[in-house]
């Protein structure tokens, strides 16, 4: 009984730590190779919801794109800055902002992306990048505004929905957070961050059956993670199934961990 009580205390600690650890989850996404590939690939030219590109600009972008792919950012920026001098088009300031974003020059990148959507309000890719910028800077309201506009313009992207979920959850708005994580998970069913974000949302709303089912997948894929076993035990207790919770406690005991890793909480 004392062991179960101690584990329940640890469960409370896990829940209490969700905010700071949630930031760690978001930070991990920036290192995701799939995300990085999609981010760089987003500078290609698409026919829909794009500013009109003049022939001279197209030739310039064809010069800039391989430089960006090779991370020769200084050369690419110099070409764009010279072309933009005075009053650059939406596509050029957007591309310049993207170069600055990749170099962690966030205030400059933010200014150019804002300028891009001011010049071309239906510029979907610019709204998407604005969302990523605001998410990176911790601006939850602006993250929500930007990604919502991206979706309104027909965008459908797992990372956009995932960051939108994190922003809503940070504000304590659990229903749109849940919907966002479900959309992200639909597009990337193997993404642990989206599934765990959804678990947090449903647990906070006392949707314990959903939590148990979601945690079944997390536990199957990550059986060494005691926090998932512990959260599921908490969900079983919420469902008034103490025997199922006890089974999870037994697994936790066998894991013989001295501390509980809260990196997913």
Tokens representing 177? 């957070």
**Does position 44 have pLDDT exceeding 70, yes or no?**
no
pLDDT of 88: 84
The span from the CA of 25 to the CA of 32, in Å, is: 11
Tokens representing 185? 């998970």
* Segment 161-183 mean pLDDT: 97
* Segment 210-222 mean pLDDT: 94
pLDDT of 51: 86
Query: Taking all residues of the chain, what is their mean pLDDT, rounded to a whole number?
Result: 83
**Does position 257 have pLDDT exceeding 80, yes or no?**
no
How does residue 194 score in pLDDT terms, banded at 50, 70 and 90?
very high
pLDDT of 241: 95
| SS3 sequence of 165-193 | HHHHHHCCCHHHHHHHHHHHHHHCCCCHH
The set of long-range contacts for 144-150, using a CB threshold of 8 Å and a minimum separation of 24, is 144/168, 144/171, 150/124
Q: Show the beta-strand stretches assigned E in 59-205.
A: none
* Segment 1-30 mean pLDDT: 47
> Which helix H or strand E contains 164, and what residues bound it?
helix 158-170
The set of long-range contacts for 50-55, using a CB threshold of 8 Å and a minimum separation of 24, is 50/91, 50/123, 50/125, 51/89, 51/90, 51/91, 51/119, 51/120, 51/123, 53/89, 53/91, 54/89
**Does position 151 have pLDDT exceeding 80, yes or no?**
yes
pLDDT of 124: 95
Tokens representing 107? 């205030």
* Segment 102-106 mean pLDDT: 93
The span from the CA of 184 to the CA of 198, in Å, is: 10
* Segment 181-200 mean pLDDT: 94
């Amino acid at each position: 009984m004392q062991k179960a009580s101690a584990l329940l205390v640890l469960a409370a600690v896990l829940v209490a730590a969700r905010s700071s650890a949630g930031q760690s989850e978001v930070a991990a996404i920036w290192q995701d190779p799939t995300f990085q590939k999609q981010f760089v690939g987003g500078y290609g030219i698409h026919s829909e919801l794009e500013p009109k590109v003049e022939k001279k600009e197209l030739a310039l972008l064809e010069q800039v794109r391989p430089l960006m792919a090779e991370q020769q950012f200084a050369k690419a920026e110099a070409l764009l800055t010279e072309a933009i001098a005075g009053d650059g088009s939406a596509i050029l300031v957007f591309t310049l902002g993207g170069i600055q974003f990749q170099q962690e020059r966030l205030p400059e990148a933010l200014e150019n992306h804002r300028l891009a959507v001011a010049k071309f309000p239906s510029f979907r890719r610019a709204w998407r990048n604005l969302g990523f910028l605001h998410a990176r800077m911790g601006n939850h309201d602006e993250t929500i505004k930007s990604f919502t506009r991206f979706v309104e313009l027909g965008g459908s992207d797992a990372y956009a929905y995932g960051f939108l979920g994190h922003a809503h959850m940070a504000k304590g708005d659990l229903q749109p957070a849940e919907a966002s994580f479900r959309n992200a998970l639909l597009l990337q069913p193997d993404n642990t961050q989206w599934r765990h974000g959804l678990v947090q949302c449903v647990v906070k709303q006392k949707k314990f059956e959903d939590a148990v089912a979601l945690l079944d997948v997390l536990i199957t894929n990550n059986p060494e993670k005691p926090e998932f076993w512990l959260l599921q035990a908490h969900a079983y207790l919420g469902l008034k199934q103490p025997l199922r919770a006890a089974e999870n406690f037994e697994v936790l005991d066998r894991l013989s961990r001295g501390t509980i890793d809260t990196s997913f909480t």
